[in-house]
Amino acid sequence: MDPSPTSSWLLLIVSLPTGGATARMRIWRALKALGCIALRDGAYLLPAHAEQAEQLAELATETSEEGGQSWLLRVQPRNADESASLQALFDRTADYDDWLAELSEARQTLATLSLAELNRLLRRHERSFHALRRIDFFPGDTALRAQAQWRDFSNAIEAMLSPGEPHMAEGGIARRDPVHYQGRRWATRRRLWVDRVACAWLIQRFIDPAAQFLWLESPADCPPDALGFDFDGATFTHVGDRVSFEVLLASFGLDENRGLAQLGTLVHALDVGGPAAPEAAGFEAMLAGARKRLPGDDALLAEVSAVLDSLYAHFSGGRGKT
């Protein structure tokens, strides 16, 4: 019988020349980032089921290229007690406790921070949380507690960054025929940010080319005949784990479009978190700069639409560099 993933381990043994201090430090840092446990100097353990297993093999190759020696072995415990002992070496409880303490301290400062500082704080703790989750190969109760605290923390900051940000609604997403949504008025909150500007671009490019947009000071100002998006009670808003852009895609049968689906992943990550496309940080920086520089939301939509057109072409495949 094949061993279960949690009972099979990878053991990397490395030996570098005494003069290779720089290479030794680089490899040691890489092993730590992968989540390996040092059994002794030069001997590092990793669960065989970890997604970092391939990178561990690459480090073995790199060691040889630096003039050292390496052996990457697959080992299996002799019994359940030995397996449990090895698994205990990867207990991340102390790491989670340290991170949670930092999060608690940070939460006490939120009211004193500017919007830019809140953004930086959110991204910094998000990076550290995901880095910890990535090396938590055997998550338990502490991981669940950390997940809940991170959700509360990020929601608190998002509420401060975007007053009126919609909450996730329950229910299904009705399929709609764009023929019945032409030449309409569409309304959302002013000072467009990622989800709202992407929705407006999507509406204009793929749903209602003659759309007219209203930028609301408050969702309560939405006229009865306007189609609201990205606020609580709007016709199109967050549903389940989908942000408003993704809801529009599903509503109008656009979710099978490769380029739009990829854009949806980018918008989702920037709006509510999650794995981000490499282009996400650049898009967010461009949008932040445009919002500072331009006089209003009409000008912002016009400029950002050109960027979204380019991202859509990029994500759709098309011709690359020649």
- Asked if pLDDT for residue 5 goes beyond 70, the answer is no
Q: Are residues 75 and 107 in the same domain?
A: no
Domain of residue 106 covers 93-161
Residues 104-114 pLDDT 10s = 999 999 989 88
Q: Are residues 98 and 70 in the same domain?
A: no
Q: Are residues 140 and 251 in the same domain?
A: no
How many domains does the chain fold into?
3
Which residues neighbour 225 within 8 Å (Cβ) at sequence distance 6 or greater? 185
Closest CA to 44 of 20, 68, 14: 14
- What share of the chain has pLDDT > 70, as a percent? 94
pTM summary value: 0.55
Q: What is the pLDDT, as a whole number, of residue 288? A: 87
Residues 184-194 pLDDT 10s = 999 999 989 99
Q: Are residues 208 and 143 in the same domain?
A: no
Residue 269, in any domain of the structure:
yes
Name the 3-class secondary structure at 238.
coil
Give the residue from 88, 111, 133 where a domain finishes: 88
Which residues neighbour 269 within 8 Å (Cβ) at sequence distance 6 or greater? 275, 276, 277, 280
Q: Are residues 153 and 188 in the same domain?
A: no
Residues 159-208 pLDDT 10s = 777 666 777 677 789 999 999 999 999 999 998 999 999 999 999 999 99
> What CA–CA distance (Å, rounded) separates 246 from 10?
40
Q: What is the pLDDT confidence band of residue 155, given thresholds at 50, 70 and 90?
A: confident
Residues 248-299 pLDDT 10s = 999 999 999 999 999 999 999 888 877 777 898 899 889 989 988 999 999 9
Name the 3-class secondary structure at 319.
coil
Residue 172, in any domain of the structure:
no
- Asked if pLDDT for residue 1 goes beyond 70, the answer is no
Residue 212, in any domain of the structure:
yes
User: Tokens standing for 96?
Assistant: 């989670």
Q: What is the pLDDT, as a whole number, of residue 113? A: 87
φ, ψ for residue 3 (rounded to 5)? -65, 150
Which residues neighbour 53 within 8 Å (Cβ) at sequence distance 6 or greater? 10, 46
Residue 83, in any domain of the structure:
yes
